[in-house]
Structure 1
Amino acid sequence: LLFVGDDWAEDHHDVEVMDASGRRLARARLPEGVAGMTRLHAMIGQALGDDIDTDDDARVRIGIETDRGPWVQALVAAGYTVYAVNPLQASRYRERLALSGAKSDAADAHMLADMVRTDSHQLRPIAGDTADAQAVKVVTRTHKTLVWERTRAGQRLRHALRDYFPAALTAFADLDAPDALELLAKAPDPAAAARLSLTQISAALKRARRRDIPAKAATIQAALRAEHLGQPAVVTAAYAASVRALVALLVTLNEQVKALQGQVEDHFGRHPDAEIILSQPGLGAVLGSRVLAEFGDDHDRYTSAKARKNYAATSPITRASGKKRTVAARFVHNDRLIDALMAQAFSALHTSPGARAYYDRQRARGAGYNAALRQLANRLVGILHGCLKAGAVYDETTAWSHHLTEAAA
């Protein structure tokens, strides 16, 4: 076996090749791209010797602190076993080798090579996700990132209005709604907003396809014309300019979120696992695509439902030492995945009698809202794992037969 440590940077890779005894065979700094990959193959080929068998690529194990990008894909395509080492794991392992805290790129390459040499059985090889799953992951992550950015921009807009134009917060309940953004772009300061006519407000509400337009227009106009505390004129003008920029940003984000949602649904709908995932309670096209994107579609990646639950961070952590034993939630997790799974659990409460019965049972035992919802999410992950393994769609009776029986009793 050969063991390779790859400490990557944006434009280069520090690489060390090591044999099974821990002896360094080669070390180099390689450029990113085709030239660097060619040199890496040459280094590995030289270390393997002249009598290279077609299966020799499988004897090469590579540790690198990332699981994405063209470089990693090229390593996997070459047939090497690639381990995406968690940076926190690498940091802890580094402390075993250098208590002084010394660190360098070359030393990190050595550390990664030694780590896969001695502890590869504790590491997870990069999953063999299909190109379809990777495409779903790209558009889904971008879509979710834009949703988060829209939330942040909306919060910034709310804070700005509260500081100089609180009447707008009373007039517009949803600041990123099309009608609110249109009117704020047209009248971003209190004086201009007070001059808005019922006709102008009604036209904006009509374009946003609101109902009961006359009553809503009158309510908005009254709120904008009410007396309020203000800022000096020059400060108000500065805030108005800031609000115009934030409104323009929110308009663009709304457009791109909508456009990307179509791409998410399109890519997800073509995936072979889409039918099984969509059959799960609480999962639609958007949430389902996020679950698929973060779990991946390599059915051999998770050896058991417990392994999938541990990766999802829905299962608890038990810490036991002597007579002391504590059970706690996992706070180190994939934010995108746990966000989707908790949203699924909440939606499942309204669509699945079994999920509702399971949740109510946890609450009856004294679990709080978040804890009970997390336990439900954990149960739903196990159900999804079973469906994917069996290639079967969700069945309410099969999934919850035990809990439904107890609830009926």
Structure 2
Amino acid sequence: MTDLKEHAKSFAAYIGLDWADKKHNWTMQTADGKRSRGELIHTPEAIDAWAAELAQRFGGRPVAITLEQARGALIATLSKYGHLHLFIVDPSRLNYYRKSVSPSGAKSDLVDGDLILDFQLKHPELVRYLAPDTVETRSLQFLTEQRRAVVNQHTRQVQILTHWLKQVFPQILAWFDDVSTPLVGDLLKRWPDLVKLKKARPETLLQFLHDHNCRSAERNQQRLNELRTAVAATHDSALWKTANLMIATTIEMLATLRTSIEQFNDQIQEVYEIHPDRFLMESLPGAGKALEPRLIAAMGTDRDRFRSAGDMACCFGIAPVTESSGNSRWVHWRWQCSKFIRQTFHEWGACTVRKEGRARDHYERQRAKGKSHHAAVRSVAFKWIRILYRCWRDRVPYSEQRYLEALARAAGKGKPAVNPAESSVSLPAVQWKTCGGFSKPTKLSS
């Protein structure tokens, strides 16, 4: 991961930018040590004029701008200017730095601009250079994250629909396993309550179910039998007025969200098929079509981004955090990370333990130690990250045989282990003695 110290350029000026919604405050220090402050209105025209002014003032030489935003409107606008080099400081790290210089908690936009500038000058190794990845990789990053956001909205609407059906039409929940399907939506549009549904002819209902691919004659007949004896859950007209409106709204939103998810899937698959790292992810066991694009989005294509597999595990939130002081020691999972990326590797680890193999064996060993299911899955994901890092760094697809050979070389330098029960060579006996509380060998006897 490249920081400001490693990004050795002769910057004409350093700028600390405190971003906001409508305007941004900046503090600039030039090469001669002079500082100035200013305010930047958040419009494309104002930002363009400001960038042109910097280019003219410093003759097109690079200018380092540090801010807390890694993605957003301001980053998207500033990234199109070649002479502006963007650096990112972690907001939580800057918050602790603010507390160290101002214990009272005093804060203002102007002071924050000074604070960001001081941080980038005094701690350049803690400031990350924003190097945009390839178009394909960034497309997968945006698409996969926003698809998950749409899926979360879909889940939310299913919960709302279930909440109202429990109050006014609970039979639907018993007749159908998934209320988010077009079948349930079309049924509630045509027969929004139990009274109207009971008036429908059985032949009409059966034809409706057949048209929606409900082919089980036994299950359909069971639904019709239960419909004959069904009783309305409530006759509260005030509740029904709101319920009808909410149910109709959620049905429309679910239909729209289903279409959006399908469009996201098509776009993700289209970009994934042309990505140069696709062959790496296709070789990973348990990933599948859903997780392979998400793994590419998490890894990126910059092989210098991580120095080791440990750095990768920490960045992705899989590696635990240990806090110790005196006699106390606390190990917990990592909070400061991308929740979406952590979830990606957690889901991948969970998929790999479903089948027999080394991942399943490791998972069962962790469970035998008393670890919870999710802690054991994170441990599996931690192991997979070490393997994935090497494959990704060397651009070599995963091979189970190659992995087992590497383990053998690491354990015995390529030599097979000797089973004492099958060996005809007798090992010498070892005699021990205690010295200063430690045991050490004193004599070997055959």
Q: TM-score, normalised by structure 2?
A: 0.81
Q: Which moved more, 1:296-305 or 1:372-381?
A: 296-305
Report the counterpart of residue 432 of structure 2 in structure 1. none
Cα separation, 2, equivalents of 1:131 and 1:361: 42
Contact 2:26 2:39 in 1 (8 A): yes
Post-superposition Cα deviations, 1:112-134, rounded to whole Å, max 9, x if no partner, equal 11111112212332243111111
**Distance in 2 between the 1:260 and 1:69 partners?**
21
The 5 Å alignment of 1:338-357 reads 338-351=342-355, 353-357=357-361
Would the aligned equivalents of 2:194 and 2:232 in 1 still touch at CA under 8 Å? no
Equivalent of residue 330 in structure 1, options 330, 334, 341: 334
Amino acid at match of 1:377: A
What is the Cα deviation at residue 351 of structure 1?
4.7
2:121 alignment counterpart = 117
Distance change >3 Å, CA 77–CA 186, structure 1 → 2: same
Q: 1:129 aligns with which of 127, 133, 148?
A: 133
Say which SS state the counterpart of residue 350 (structure 1) adopts.
coil
1:12 is aligned with what amino acid?
K
Equivalent residue in structure 2 for 1:221, among 218, 224, 233:
224
Query: Conserved in 2, the CA contact under 8 Å of 1:291 and 1:340?
Result: yes
**What percent identity do the matched residue pairs reach?**
24
TM-fit CA distance, 1:75? 4.1
The structural deviation recorded for 1:77 is 5.1
CA distance 1:86–1:63, change in 2 (3 Å): same
2:27–2:37 Cα contact (<8 Å) kept: yes
Moved more, 301-310 or 191-200: 191-200
Letter in 1 for 2:50: R
Q: Partners of 1:356 and 1:163 in 2: how far apart? A: 43
**Superposition pairs of residues 9-408 of structure 1, within 5 angstroms:** 9-19=20-30, 23-32=33-42, 33-40=44-51, 42-43=53-54, 46=57, 56-57=61-62, 60-69=63-72, 71-73=74-76, 74-75=78-79, 78=82, 80-212=84-216, 214-225=217-228, 226-351=230-355, 353-399=357-403, 402=407
Q: How far is 1:390 from its partner?
A: 0.8
Kindly tell me: are residues 40 and 105 of structure 1, through their superposed partners in 2, closer, same or farther at Cα, counting changes over 3 Å? Answer: farther
Q: Structure 1 pair 85/259, CA: closer, same or farther in 2 (3 Å)?
A: same
Q: CA deviation at 1:228?
A: 5.0
SS class of match (2:275): coil
Q: Name the aligned partner's letter for residue 36 of structure 1.
A: I
Aligned-pair CA distance for 1:65: 1.4
Kept after mapping to 1: 8 A contact 2:286/2:348: yes
Structure 1 residue 336, shift from structure 2 partner: 1.3
- Which residue number corresponds to residue 19 of structure 2? 8
Superposition RMSD on alpha carbons, in Å? Answer: 2.7
Check conservation: 1:265, 1:286, Cα contact below 8 A.
no
Q: What secondary structure is seen at the aligned counterpart in 1 of 2:128?
A: coil
Gaps of 5+ in 2: 1-10, 412-418, 420-446
Shift of 1:24: 4.8
CA distance in 2, matches of 1:379, 1:77: 41
Between 305-314 and 351-360, report the one with greater CA deviation: 351-360
Separation in structure 1 between the aligned mates of residue 393 and residue 205 of structure 2, nearest angstrom: 55
In terms of Rg, which structure is larger?
2
Aligned pair in 2 of structure 1 residues 17, 366: CA closer, same or farther (>3 Å)? Answer: same
Superposed CA deviations along residues 206-247 of structure 1, whole A, max 9, x for unmatched, are 3433442x2222233334442353241342233122111111
Q: Distance in 1 between matches of 2:271 and 2:391?
A: 21
Q: State the Cα deviation string for residues 75-120 of structure 1 (Å, max 9, x = none).
A: 4752554222222222222222322322222211111111111122
Q: 1:43 to 1:26 in 2, by over 3 A?
A: farther
Contact 1:319 1:325 in 2 (8 A): yes
2:404, 2:170 → 1: CA distance? 50
Instruction: Tell me whether 109-118 or 326-335 shows the greater mean CA deviation.
Output: 326-335
CA contact (8 A) 2:55 2:83 kept: no
Q: Alpha-carbon deviation of 1:307?
A: 0.9
User: How far 1:19 sits from its partner (Å)?
Assistant: 4.9
Pair 1:287–1:318, CA change in 2 (3 A): same
Shift of 1:275: 1.6
CA distance in structure 2 between the aligned counterparts of 1:34 and 1:238, rounded to whole angstroms = 47
Deviation at 1:264, TM superposition (A): 0.9
Distance 2:292 2:212 in 1: 28
- Report which stretch shifted further, 318-327 or 366-375: 318-327
1:303 counterpart SS class: coil
Residue 354 of structure 2: SS of its match in structure 1? helix
Report the secondary structure of 1:159's partner residue.
helix
Deviation at 1:41, TM superposition (A): 5.2
**Of Structure 1 and Structure 2, which has the larger fraction of its residues in helix?**
1
After TM superposition, the score normalised by the length of structure 1 is 0.88
**Is the 8 Å Cα contact of residues 319 and 334 (structure 2) preserved in structure 1?**
yes
